[in-house]
Amino acid sequence: MAQIFCYSRAVQLFRKNGTLAVAREEQAPQLLPLLQISEIFALAGANVDPSLTSLLAETRTPLHCFGPSGYEGSWMPYQGLISGKTTLVQYKAWKDEKRRRHLALRLMHRSLILRIAWVKKIRPDEERHWEERYLATYREAQVYPARPLQVCMEAVSAIDDERRQQWGLSRLALNGRSIGLALAVGTFANVSLDPWCSLITETGSFPLARDLAFLLEPCFVEGLSGHHLPEALPQWAKVLPQLLKEPFARNRGKTWSLRSLARQEAYFLLGAFRSGGPYRPAWNVEVKTVESLESSR
């Protein structure tokens, strides 16, 4: 089974003998069969030879690069999976301002409910305070339909930053957001959706992936806060593959891991596009108790 490969130091990636070669510092290059790799996380950055990109495209292997400020970007071969019928229904919803805003409001509302649920689980005495502030942003979005929903998203992110700073989660938030965004981007290598046609996000690369990452962000921040992870993201390399196997959702007998949450959300959205019916984002995502925060109070 293909696995995630994580590198804690800067690497050079190039093509050699028809496969991936990885060079680290003064070590001899290591040859890796790409068919055994699902995604590559260069947590301290990577120097990528252009000749490798065609090989990554053939094997549909996303490459994510990170730096001191977190996520920097991805090389992600999504174009080959875009199908005509799916593209048409997605573009139709995207062009229909009323339908697009309806779907966006559903995603926004559920993202707030998830944040409030984690507050209730971790610090129940603060629930009312944060609930009022989060839901106030949503009410404003409803009252002012002409205002871009990205304004609401930015307001929620500002509240997130304030709350996490008070809880001592600022560094974890930077790292968790970075990993969550990379996974959301990588999802589109195997889902027939165009990641450039978003519901809310208006800036940055892969804006639809950024929508899904925003929705699921608490899973990668509050959801990981009990693991005592290192502050430096490159030091996550050894533990990240195992962390991402942790179950976070169950649907009709199937378990979805932290790694596959964004894929599930993409399927939910794809279903709404195709059917024209209701959209229920993150309806089965689990909110887990975070013992380290609870015991520290």
Query: Are residues 53 and 178 both part of a single domain?
Result: no
90 in a structural domain = yes
Residue the block writes with tokens 């559920």: 110
Q: How confident is the model over 15-36, as pLDDT tens digits?
A: 998 899 999 877 788 899 888 8
Kindly state the DSSP code that residue 28 receives in the 8-state scheme.
Answer: P
| HSE value, Cβ hemisphere, 13 Å, CA-based, for 280 | 5
Residue 47 has pLDDT above 50, yes or no: yes
pLDDT beyond 50 at 295: no
Q: What is the pLDDT of residues 222-262, one digit of tens each?
A: 999 988 899 999 999 999 999 999 888 887 778 889 999 99
Q: Is residue 68 part of a domain?
A: no
Residue 22 located in a structural domain: yes
Q: Each residue of 185-205: pLDDT tens digit? A: 999 988 888 899 999 999 888
* C-alpha to C-alpha distance for 64 and 66, rounded to whole angstroms: 7
- Shared-domain flag, residues 220 and 114: yes
90 and 197 Cβ atoms separated by less than 8 Å? yes
The set of residues, in sequence order, having a beta carbon less than 8 Å from that of 82 and lying 6+ positions away, is: 192, 193, 194
Asked whether residue 70 is domain-assigned, the answer is no
Residues 116 and 208 in one domain: yes
Is 241 in the same domain as 130? Answer: yes
Same domain, 192 and 108: yes
Residues 289 and 211 placed together within one structural domain of the fold: yes
pLDDT band at 42 (very low <50, low <70, confident <90, very high): very high
Please tell me the pTM assigned to this model: 0.92
Final residue in a domain of this structure, among 11, 27, 61 = 61
Domain range for 122 is 80-295
Same domain, 14 and 144: no
* In contact, 11 and 234? CB cutoff 8 Å: no
**Partners of 66 in the beta sheet?**
71
Number of independent structural domains in the chain: 2
